[in-house]
Structure 1
Amino acid sequence: MVNFNGNISAETTLLNVENRGIKYGDALFETLRVVADKILFWEDHYFRLMESMRILRMEIPMNFTMEFLEEEILKLLKAKELKNARVRFTVYRGDGGLYLPTSNDVAYIITANELASPFYLLSEDAYEVDLYKDFYINKGLLSTLKTNNKITNVLGSIYAKENDLDNCLLVNEDKNVIEALNGNIFLVKGNTIKTPPITDGCLKGILRKQLVEILEKTSDYELKEESISPFEIQKSDEFFITNVIQGIVPITKYRKKQFGNTVAKDLLAKLNMRIRLG
């Protein structure tokens, strides 16, 4: 069951062969976490989507208000009888044209699946990563957007499976580590926490934004938005991944380096408190 341009449908084969998201990757998406009918960090998601649509020169419909899109998302959850869900909101340019579209009008589709847990929990499981160096991420503005052009992430995921890894780290053309396949990265050394700057080409992540704001308001840690080299990782105390679905995912092993998770636990507690108070 999906929400296709405002209509709830049990049909899941609604896209035709002329769909520009399929033909050219001419589409954007937001992955949302909904808990007890509340979309977490909805305002941040909404403004990132609007900013991304403007960058891609999509025509933003007059009715694309925060209230309208929230209603459309919750309408699907009600139809599927879901209170806690992982939601994907995809917006794509309308059919027509080759590389040059015939219109900048947009359409959207919303899908949802049940969440395993309504809470952010910290896993104690082993989690091993390594670099994925077959292809690089460009440092340009487009790399910071959640577009449908994610072939590097797809190939990196296949590489991780073939090499018995839980995830891979992506690098830019300067050979700096910018993110994991499915989230932003944070590195801990003592009381200093580093995350790559957006200008390095990493995703403008929503949970990254939450943690940056938390860290800027605490005296417990010093936040630095600086480039991270692969060599620096092996000298750190902790290393973790963030995304809105899983929260904080501690990395336990990178090559021969083992990591702890003390800071990750502390930050997850602060994040859950922020959500409760929000």
Structure 2
Amino acid sequence: MINFNGELVENNTLFLNEENRGLRYGDSLFESLRVVNGKIYFWEDHYLRLMASMRILRMEIPMNFTMEYLEEQILNTIEASNVQNEALRIRLTVFRNNGGLYLPNSNNVSFIIEAKVLENAFYVHSNEHYEVELFKDHYVNTGLLSTLKSNNKLINVLGSIYAKENGYNNCLLLNNQKQVVEALNGNLFLVKGNTIKTPPLKDGCLNGITRKKLIASLEKLENYTLEEASISPFELQKADELFVTNAITGIQSITKYRKKEYANTVAKDLLGKLNAIARLS
């Protein structure tokens, strides 16, 4: 089932048309949520990010768009889909309503909620081969808009096609200053000794929820030093570990970049901590 503005409809129902502003202009935001047995992981953080992003895009936030209302809509969608006891990936999409050209007729919004079943109830570390390469055909712009989880994802689409055509599992994206900012599907962390480094938001990386949770956790751990600092491509082959984070997978270790192969000890340690944080969220 799909939830469109609070109305539950069958998956194959046609409820959008060619005037949709998300389709026409990418005038849309989304949140990818992990839900297990009716519990939405890090729901408050996702909600607050969505509200902040809507304000940045000058969308009108409806009076009923409370945390409680949207949580209820997500749970209603899950119940209607009869997947209450499953681990789920929820996509909550918000887009400006039809009308206008670049200038919208209004800033009012609609929303869609979709549910997909996941394989594992908890974040699980994969020991499988996972090779990445730099994607250098196009660059991420530094600045606030790049940090938003919007539908403007052409670089991620093209990077994914490049990765598939060349036998890579993922690609790392560069900004227009030739700094490494993130992977195609999540934030990047680099481990060297006891130091864990991740690009700052000013470099143009996504303001990821899992990134935020890991940073908060690392700041409390005495055995690691966290740095939010720009990452040069030259640093990648000097690292002990590289890993990618997102709300659905949790932590994905990178095993190879060019001729360098990486360990995964720190990633496994942090994944255990992330599962503990998720259960308490």
Please state which band the TM-score falls in when normalised by the shorter chain: over 0.9
In structure 1, give the amino acid aligned to 2:205: C
Distance 2:18 2:166 in 1: 35
The secondary structure found in structure 2 opposite 1:104 is: coil
Instruction: Give the structure 1 partner of residue 64 of structure 2.
Output: 63
The one of 252, 255, 258 aligned to 2:255: 252
The secondary structure found in structure 2 opposite 1:185 is: strand
Instruction: Give the structure 1 partner of residue 148 of structure 2.
Output: 145
Question: Given the alignment of the two structures, is residue 154 of structure 1 paired with residue 157 of structure 2, yes or no?
Answer: yes
Instruction: Give the structure 2 partner of residue 194 of structure 1.
Output: 197
The secondary structure found in structure 1 opposite 2:111 is: strand
Instruction: Give the structure 1 partner of residue 109 of structure 2.
Output: 106
In structure 2, give the amino acid aligned to 1:178: V
The secondary structure found in structure 2 opposite 1:240 is: strand
Instruction: Give the structure 2 partner of residue 122 of structure 1.
Output: 125
- Give, in angstroms, the shift of residue 14 of structure 1: 1.3
- Give, in angstroms, the shift of residue 277 of structure 1: 3.1
- Unaligned ranges ≥5, structure 2: none
Give yes or no for contact 2:41–2:279 (8 Å, CA) kept in 1.
no
- Unaligned ranges ≥5, structure 1: none
Distance 1:152 1:12 in 2: 30
The secondary structure found in structure 1 opposite 2:69 is: helix
In structure 1, give the amino acid aligned to 2:208: G
Distance 1:165 1:63 in 2: 44
Distance 2:141 2:201 in 1: 12
CA shift digits 1:57-108 (9 cap, x unpaired) = 0000000000000000010000011132100000000000000000000001
Give the length in aligned residue pairs. Answer: 278
Instruction: Give the structure 1 partner of residue 134 of structure 2.
Output: 131
Q: CA RMSD in A?
A: 0.7
- Give, in angstroms, the shift of residue 225 of structure 1: 0.1
In structure 1, give the amino acid aligned to 2:178: K
Instruction: Give the structure 1 partner of residue 28 of structure 2.
Output: 27
Mapping of 1:15-54 within 5 angstroms?
15-54=16-55
- Give, in angstroms, the shift of residue 230 of structure 1: 0.6
Instruction: Give the structure 2 partner of residue 7 of structure 1.
Output: 7
- Percent identity reads 65
Distance 1:243 1:202 in 2: 12
Distance 1:197 1:173 in 2: 15
In structure 2, give the amino acid aligned to 1:192: T
- Give, in angstroms, the shift of residue 235 of structure 1: 0.3
